[in-house]
Amino acid sequence: MNFLAEEVGEVSRAIRTIEIGRDRPDEKVTDYQENLANLTEELGDVLDNLFILADKYDISLETIMTSHKEKLLARYSDTSEI
């Protein structure tokens, strides 16, 4: 589980770099494409950790997506028409 938290932190840092630039003056300045490639890599690491957790607890990705869709539909459906 700690690996997932670490990877999410790296995603946050990659997004911050795209949005506001480098953290410290001693960091190398990178262009947008390099930053986007880094974000893509870090998102892949997060996704990999999610796959590992789903596999560990024997939860299919389809079950996860269906459950999430149902939650969002219930949360954001317009109940005034019922």
Can you tell me the distance from the alpha carbon of 48 to that of 53, in angstroms, rounded to the nearest whole number?
9
Please list the ranges in the chain whose pLDDT falls under 50: 82
pLDDT attached to residue 79:
62
Query: Which pLDDT score is estimated for 70?
Result: 96
Say how far apart CA 11 and CA 38 lie, in whole Å: 9
Give this prediction's pTM: 0.80
Q: How far apart are CA 35 and CA 22, in angstroms?
A: 10
Mean pLDDT of the chain, nearest integer: 91
Residue-by-residue DSSP string for 23-51 = SSTTSPP--HHHHHHHHHHHHHHHHHHHH
52: its two tokens = 């590992």
Domain layout of the chain by residue ranges: 2-81
CATH topology of domain 2-81: Helix Hairpins (1.10.287)
